[in-house]
């Protein structure tokens, strides 16, 4: 993501100027020690020897020079072993049961620094959405409702299978096998990118035959919507991304900009009980309240926090990382807004069948529910873009909704050159009005800076906490940053990433002028292509980001909007 995010922010204003493998990782084994020994039975050197002899650890260490630096510490019957190697830093860590000598935890590579890479069951979304029953059930409903059963070998069915094939990558991720999971995510994304570009080039809706009556799809969508609400409210979790939303809403409602005012740990005094890992994360903050820390939560645009204000007003916040009903409410709200928005877009541009199909696609695709059950802010940006698409013919409205979406998740800023030129590029008046709508909405959102004594200071803090942090972060959740492990057999692809980022930005800029004529279909396909391209070159990518582009993939491939090119036969939206 280095270089890309900074340029993405600049791109928003252009219209104005014109693998290696890894052994599978079991979840850590929990052991109980009746009485914690004051003196270990195993020596430090024996514990280290047992640890490095573990199959998984030994296999990983073969990628590094021999004789790495090791250390082990003893506490309450457990040895914690750490292994380092030169520039790579810490390359392995784990735990040894002193009584039995068994390796009860073994983490290597990205699993050392990233707990989310360890394959903890239900860490994202809770156990229900990650269960085979619900996940495969939703996959089956998605395929059953949208497949062209009269032409089993059609491209439409291939598109559906590609969208579902991302589940294979997620399955490996849930097992902690990052070096298999991440490469498997790229072929489906590349396929979808190529399909969207092809459709935009032809400006002709792909052939789609509806199998089910409209009322069946509509009824199934209503049922799925209710199921999704219940699953979120009763059987999901809130990760730090969603927790940051309610903190930001609280800060705004108490007269502070969210940036630079999030609850931190050190050096604040501890308060509250310890968590499951024995850590006390609650601290007395500068506002005098005991709050659960989330020091890196202020890394999103201001709309990410303003969107949580309605839920905050209804349910409040206990200042702890508890059930966070306000976060659940916000996730459900924007999930339903995306669904309803797709139905309205479909009805406006294609009638009842298109409306039912587009809404059904969102409701049935399991990855949209994965984001909802994780209670992140990842449905907010696409929902806002969908509603922006609904007012596509309003120049001010298009620009305003790009701002609302882009200042939630920065990826949407890249579509402003494209959206400014509807219905025909190189016409100055629509572009100027779209930019004016963008600027006006941006000014409203960034009025949160006025809550601070100095607007310039607030702007600097915003830049440091968002842009600077995002472009500088390291992450194993893509192909691009694996060079940080300095391990044999794992390539460093930073240069390739930089080239692709330049291509993406150049392409997004070029959409301010080409193609000249833009039908709703072409707009949807190119919007999807830009957002997919952004995800392909991200350093820190995750499955929760897939809903960013999905509405526009649905409108281009699954419930195709009308294009300009004449069809050989009347198109049927399915």
**Quick one: which of 128, 124, 171 has its CA closest to 376?**
124
Q: CB neighbours (10 Å) of residue 484? A: 18
Q: What is the pLDDT of residues 445-481, one digit of tens each?
A: 999 999 999 999 999 999 999 999 999 889 999 999 9
Give the separation between CA 421 and CA 516, rounded to whole angstroms.
8
Task: Name the one residue in this structure whose structure tokens are 């032809």.
Answer: 202
The answer to whether the beta carbons of residues 395 and 437 sit under 8 Å apart is yes
**Burial of 553 from C-beta contacts in 10 A (0-12 / 13-18 / 19+):** buried
Residue 424 has pLDDT above 60, yes or no: yes
Q: What is the pLDDT of residues 512-521, one digit of tens each?
A: 999 999 999 9
Q: How confident is the model at residue 574 (pLDDT cuts 50, 70, 90)?
A: very low
Q: How confident is the model at residue 426 (pLDDT cuts 50, 70, 90)?
A: confident
- How far apart, in Å, are the Cα atoms of 181 and each of 20, 327, 356? 11, 29, 33
Backbone angles phi, psi at 295, to 5 degrees: -65, -20
Helix axes 240-253 and 325-350, enclosed angle (nearest 10): 100
Q: What angle do CA 102, 103, 107 make, to 5 degrees?
A: 175
The answer to whether the beta carbons of residues 70 and 80 sit under 8 Å apart is no
Handedness of CA 194, 195, 196, 202 (dihedral sign): positive
Q: 3-state SS string over 184-219?
A: HHHHHHHHHHHHHHHHHHHCCCCCCCCCCCHHHHHH
Kindly report which listed range (2-16, 142-156, 184-198, 212-226) carries the lowest average pLDDT score. Answer: 2-16
Give the pLDDT score at 565: 52
Range 44-108 has CATH code 3.30.60: no
**What mean pLDDT comes out for the span 76-88?**
95
Write out the DSSP string of 451-513: GSS-HHHHHHHHHIIIIIHHHH---SSSSTTGGGG--TT----HHHHHHHHHHHHHHHHHTTT
Give the separation between CA 390 and CA 284, rounded to whole angstroms.
46
- Per the DSSP assignment, residues forming a β-bridge with 424 are 517
Domain boundaries, the chain: 44-108, 126-235+329-558, 240-323
Q: Which helix (H) or strand (E) holds 146?
A: helix 132-146
Give the single-character DSSP code of 551: H
Give the separation between CA 555 and CA 347, rounded to whole angstroms.
12
């Amino acid at each position: 993501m280095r270089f890309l995010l900074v340029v993405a922010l600049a791109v928003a204003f252009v219209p104005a100027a014109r693998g290696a493998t890894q052994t599978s990782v079991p979840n850590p084994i929990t052991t109980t020690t009746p009485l914690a020994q004051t003196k270990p039975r195993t020596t430090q050197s024996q514990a280290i020897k047992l640890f490095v002899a573990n199959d998984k650890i030994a296999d990983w260490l073969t990628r590094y020079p021999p004789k790495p630096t090791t250390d082990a510490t003893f506490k309450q019957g457990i040895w914690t072993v750490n292994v380092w190697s030169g520039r790579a830093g810490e390359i392995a860590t784990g735990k040894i049961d002193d009584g039995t000598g068994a390796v009860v935890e073994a983490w290597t590579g990205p699993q050392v620094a990233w707990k989310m890479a360890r394959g903890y069951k239900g860490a994202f979304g809770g156990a229900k959405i990650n269960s085979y029953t619900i996940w495969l059930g939703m996959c089956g409903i998605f395929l059953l409702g949208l497949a062209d059963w009269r032409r089993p070998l059609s491209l439409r069915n291939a598109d559906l299978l590609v969208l579902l094939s991302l589940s294979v990558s997620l399955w490996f991720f849930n097992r902690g096998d990052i070096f298999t999971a991440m490469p498997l995510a790229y072929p489906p994304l590349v396929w979808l990118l190529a399909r969207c570009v092809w459709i935009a080039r032809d400006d002709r809706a792909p052939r789609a035959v509806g199998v089910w009556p409209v009322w069946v799809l509509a009824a199934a969508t209503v049922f799925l919507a209710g199921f999704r609400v219940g699953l979120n409210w009763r059987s999901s979790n809130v990760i730090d991304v969603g927790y940051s939303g309610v903190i930001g809403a609280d800060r705004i409602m108490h007269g502070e900009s969210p940036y630079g005012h999030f609850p931190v740990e050190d050096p604040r005094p501890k308060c509250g009980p310890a968590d499951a890992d024995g850590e006390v994360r609650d601290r007395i903050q500068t506002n005098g309240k005991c709050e659960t820390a989330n020091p890196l939560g202020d890394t999103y645009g201001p709309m990410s926090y303003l969107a949580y204000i309605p839920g905050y007003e209804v349910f409040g916040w206990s200042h702890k990382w508890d059930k966070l009903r306000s976060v659940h409410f916000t996730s459900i709200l924007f999930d339903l807004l995306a669904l309803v928005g797709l139905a309205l877009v479909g009805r406006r541009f294609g009638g009842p069948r298109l409306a039912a199909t587009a809404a059904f696609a969102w409701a049935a695709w399991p990855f949209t529910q994965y984001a909802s059950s994780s209670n992140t802010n990842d449905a907010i940006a696409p929902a806002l873009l969908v509603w922006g698409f609904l007012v596509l013919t309003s120049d001010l409205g298009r620009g305003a909704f790009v701002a609302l979406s882009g200042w939630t998740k920065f990826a949407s800023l890249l579509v402003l050159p494209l959206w400014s030129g509807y219905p025909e590029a190189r016409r100055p008046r629509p572009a100027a009005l779209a930019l004016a709508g963008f600027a006006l909405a941006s000014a409203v959102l960034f009025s949160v800076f006025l809550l601070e004594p100095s607007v310039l200071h607030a702007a600097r803090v915003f830049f440091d906490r968002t842009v600077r942090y995002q472009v500088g972060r390291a992450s194993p959740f893509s192909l691009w940053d694996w060079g940080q492990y300095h391990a044999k057999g794992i390539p460093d692809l930073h240069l390739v990433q930089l080239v692709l980022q330049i291509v993406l930005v150049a392409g997004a800029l070029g959409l301010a002028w080409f193609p000249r004529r833009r039908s709703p279909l072409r707009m949807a396909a190119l919007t999807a292509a830009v957002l997919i391209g952004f995800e392909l070159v991200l350093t820190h990518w995750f499955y929760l980001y897939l809903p960013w582009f999905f509405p526009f993939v649905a409108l281009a491939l699954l419930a195709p909007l009308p294009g300009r090119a004449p069809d050989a036969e009347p198109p049927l939206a399915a």
